[in-house]
Structure 1
Amino acid sequence: MNAGRVAAVSRNAAYAFSKPNHPSIRLLAGLGVEGDVHAGETIRHQFRMTYEPDLPNLRQVHLMHAELFEELALKGYEVRPGELGENITTRGVDLLALPTGTLLHLGADAVVEVTGLRNPCAKINDFRTGLLGEMFALDPHSDAFTFKSGVMGVVRRAGTVRPDDPIGVEWPPLPHRPLERV
């Protein structure tokens, strides 16, 4: 069941593009990361709150794979954990290949249900010029674009998450639904 490890954990109490790393974060069931601006039962995304304030928050936790940072480094972009706004940076889990509804067991107690792909926004180019274009990949089988900027999830079971914690992957029952933007 253990598929990978937590590389870093991040949170920010204020709206900002990047999130500073911390020794640990606490996940709260049905809310998100304690002390993070995006925690809440309803949408906390700054732009979407203006027109969909009462919809459920399917973006309580943002997870991103550290392998993306290595790929970006080969193209001349230096990106460190938390700098693209993720709460949990992973290593050894192919987040983008997971189906909707996958449960990620983080550390001893926490469980996050994957709800969909993070939709990359123009602020990525404000962080590093040209980086937004690297957040998309063309699927050779369908000619459709996929997003590489991580996955979003909701907290199903509370717990503390720290760097080097194990990550277990529990696939949902068949039929699997592919990840879509949330």
Structure 2
Amino acid sequence: MKMNDEKMGSASGVVIAVSKSDKHTFSKENCNSIKLLKGLGVEGDAHLGKTVKHRSRVAANPNQPNLRQVHLIHSELLDELKDRFNVAAGQMGENITTKGIDLLELPKDSLLYIGETAVIKVTGLRNPCAQIDQFKSGLMNAVLDRDQQGNLIRKAGIMSIVLESGEVHPGDQVRIQLPPLPHAPLERV
């Protein structure tokens, strides 16, 4: 689905899986639910915190704000990859796997209302790293593309921060609220 200037509620999708890992592993385990904590991320996940938890970013500057509290991937990417890589929800490190939302087309600062109370704010694109090829050889090239102008397209999902706490379950609706115009495109975070 292509994003226009839709109002909240007119554009929506659904959560098909939720995942977390309390260790810095590439893949995360599917769960019956996850709890999003305001300003922190996913309870029980290794990336929980106000400051950055991604190892390479901690090494560069451990005091950076954590703009990668919740990672989302659209299941349509998993469908695209299934014949060559057989990748399932959670295996690419995402916390929330969605269906019916073109996550990559969302502008920066879009709000996603998930389930009854959770609200997250989109901060940017996931920048896939070498761990992707360690998981499945060749997967890095499959999640990178080029547009007609030759610009790099990162397809490995989006990152977000938690604005309002709440439980998230498979089957929960995801409602989108776009930020005010002009919209800023997503960049890697």
**TM-score, with normalisation over the residues of structure 2?**
0.94
Which residue is 1:64 aligned to?
A: 73
Partner of 1:168: helix, strand, or coil? strand
RMSD: 0.7
- The alignment-based identity, stated in percent, is 50
Correspondence for 2:166 among 159, 162, 172: 159
Which residue is 1:121 aligned to?
A: 129
Unpaired stretches in structure 1, ≥5 consecutive residues:
none
Map 1:104-119; keep pairs closer than 5 Å: 104-119=112-127
Which residue is 1:52 aligned to?
A: 61
Q: How far, CA to CA, are the matches of 1:80 and 1:67 in structure 2?
A: 11
Moved over 2 A (4+): none
- Measured against aligned partners, the alpha-carbon deviations of 1:53-104 in whole angstroms (never above 9, x if no partner) come to 0010000000000000110124x11000000000000000000000000000
Correspondence for 2:175 among 168, 173, 178: 168
Which residue is 1:181 aligned to?
A: 188
Which residue is 1:131 aligned to?
A: 139
Which residue is 1:143 aligned to?
A: 150
Count of residues in correspondence between the two structures? 180
Unpaired stretches in structure 2, ≥5 consecutive residues:
1-8
- Measured against aligned partners, the alpha-carbon deviations of 1:11-33 in whole angstroms (never above 9, x if no partner) come to 00011000000000000000000
- Measured against aligned partners, the alpha-carbon deviations of 1:117-157 in whole angstroms (never above 9, x if no partner) come to 000001100111111001112111x3201100000000000
Correspondence for 2:82 among 61, 73, 97: 73
Alpha-carbon distance, 1:46 to partner: 1.2
Which residue is 1:8 aligned to?
A: 17
